[in-house]
């Protein structure tokens, strides 16, 4: 009788079946997952390349919309819960749709493409977490032009494969009038909350404070940290858990000088965060819910 197992163990057969299912899903979506020779920025002429990933969020800023496309399994990290990442992203403005595709040495390890005007020209940039297969994650910024998308700047790569970062938000955190990007580098390890400014071809680090997190390994929730604008406080603040998730901290970067405004012990591990009425933090924890007044 013919041996359908091909000499593989049950675990190996299940893994192969999972890979076949993922590849079939990609082909059914009409999206190529093979390697691209270089980063490309081009407008395409049919709807297939713009198909969003099933779990991507569609971001909007004025007439601009953006989302992740091109599922790929070439980076087996699964920091967001599965082995499928994005090979590109799409932007729509007016009746124009543009697509940007990465080469085979990187993926977009994210669920959203953030849209924010970093250079003050009135047009938002696309900001997304890009992960190099051998050098780990960076924050990548792209310029959106009328007929194409171009790379603009990146933060330094973490430097090690399977190392990730998670943006918190974009705001004038220092009070200088310049929008900057707040992100937690290695949120599952040391947890370093850092502030980045757009420079010439790079994102320059402005300030950092260590020991904080905004993500749980394997979770689809990117928002365990938030930007808040509290009454009588300017500029905006960052609220997020400590690295052990047993306390909630309110962090200021005013004048590029990071400091803890206040910290609340929770005595349970924080696994969810929402902002209610702009000044209260609704926590979900391993022992139940809790509401914290951030301005009390």
What is the rounded distance in angstroms from the CA atom of residue 209 to the CA atom of residue 240? Answer: 12
- Give the lowest-confidence range in 8-12, 146-150, 176-180, 192-196: 8-12
Give the rounded distance of the alpha carbon of 111 from its chain centre. Answer: 6
**What average pLDDT score do residues 120-135 get?**
98
Contact 59, 124 (CB under 8 A): no
Please report the pLDDT score of residue 48 as a whole number: 53
- Is the alpha carbon torsion for 146, 30, 15, 215 positive or negative? positive
Q: Which residue has the higher pLDDT, 36 or 140?
A: 140
- What is the chain's mean pLDDT, rounded? 88
**What average pLDDT score do residues 29-52 get?**
51
Q: Which residue has the higher pLDDT, 40 or 263?
A: 263
Please report the pLDDT score of residue 39 as a whole number: 60
| Span 231-256, pLDDT tens digits | 877 899 999 999 999 999 999 999 99
Q: Which residue has the higher pLDDT, 174 or 6?
A: 174
Q: Using the predicted structure, report yes or no on whether residue 296 has a pLDDT greater than 90.
A: no
Dihedral Cα 260, 264, 268, 272, nearest 10 deg: -70
- DSSP class of residue 100? E
Please report the pLDDT score of residue 232 as a whole number: 75
The token pair that represents 217 in the structure block: 């390994």
pTM of the model: 0.85
**What average pLDDT score do residues 287-294 get?**
96
| Span 179-213, pLDDT tens digits | 999 999 999 999 999 999 999 999 999 999 999 99
């Amino acid at each position: 009788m013919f041996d359908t197992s091909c000499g593989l163990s049950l675990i190996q057969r299940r893994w192969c079946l999972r890979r076949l299912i993922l590849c079939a899903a990609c082909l059914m979506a009409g999206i190529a997952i093979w390697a691209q020779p270089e980063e490309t920025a081009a407008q395409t002429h049919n709807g297939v390349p713009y198909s969003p990933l099933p779990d991507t969020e569609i971001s909007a800023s004025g007439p601009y919309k953006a989302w992740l496309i091109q599922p790929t399994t070439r980076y087996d990290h699964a920091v967001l819960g599965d082995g499928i990442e994005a090979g590109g992203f799409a932007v729509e403005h007016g009746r124009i749709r543009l697509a940007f595709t990465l080469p085979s040495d990187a993926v977009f390890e994210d669920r959203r493409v953030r849209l924010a005007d970093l250079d003050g020209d009135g047009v938002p940039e696309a900001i997304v977490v890009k992960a190099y297969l051998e050098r780990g994650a960076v924050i990548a910024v792209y310029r959106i032009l009328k007929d194409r998308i171009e790379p603009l700047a990146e933060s330094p790569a973490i430097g090690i494969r399977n190392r990730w970062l998670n943006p918190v938000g974009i705001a004038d955190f220092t009070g200088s009038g310049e929008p900057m990007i707040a992100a937690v580098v290695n949120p599952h390890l040391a947890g370093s909350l850092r502030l980045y400014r757009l420079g010439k071809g790079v994102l320059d680090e402005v300030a950092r404070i260590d020991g904080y997190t905004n993500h749980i390994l394997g979770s689809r929730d990117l928002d365990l940290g938030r930007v808040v604008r509290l009454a009588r406080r300017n500029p905006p603040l960052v609220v997020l858990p400590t690295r052990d998730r047993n306390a909630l901290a309110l962090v200021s970067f005013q004048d590029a000088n990071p400091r803890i405004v206040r910290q609340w012990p929770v005595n349970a591990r924080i696994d969810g965060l929402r902002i209610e009425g702009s000044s209260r933090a609704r926590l979900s924890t391993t022992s139940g819910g809790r509401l914290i007044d951030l301005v009390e």
